[in-house]
Amino acid sequence: MGIVKIAEDLHEQARRASVPMCRSINAQAEYWMKIGMLAEANPTLSFNDIVRQQYAAAHVELAQRAAA
């Protein structure tokens, strides 16, 4: 495990984002890094596509929305 230096304003944004997502600040930053890496590696995928792929890889079944 290493230490990563980030700007104060980014740290503050991670702190704020961690609250509604029920994550620690470190877990929030780690989540953003993982999503960012996946987005760079798969530039044609949307955020939602990336999240769906991650759920599928973890064998999580998502409830389907009812058609409007």
The pLDDT of residue 68 is: 64
pTM: 0.81
Residue (of 57, 10, 49, 61) closest to 33 by Cα position: 10
Which amino acid is residue 51, in one-letter code?
Answer: V
23 class by beta-carbon count within 10 Å (0-12 exposed, 13-18 middle, 19+ buried): middle
The whole-number average pLDDT for the span 38-50 is: 97
The whole-number average pLDDT for the span 1-14 is: 91
Contacts of 62 (CB under 8 A, 6+ apart): 52, 55
Integer Cα distance of 38 and 41 in angstroms: 5
More confident position, 1 or 50: 50
Q: What's the pLDDT band for 62 if we cut at 50, 70, 90?
A: confident
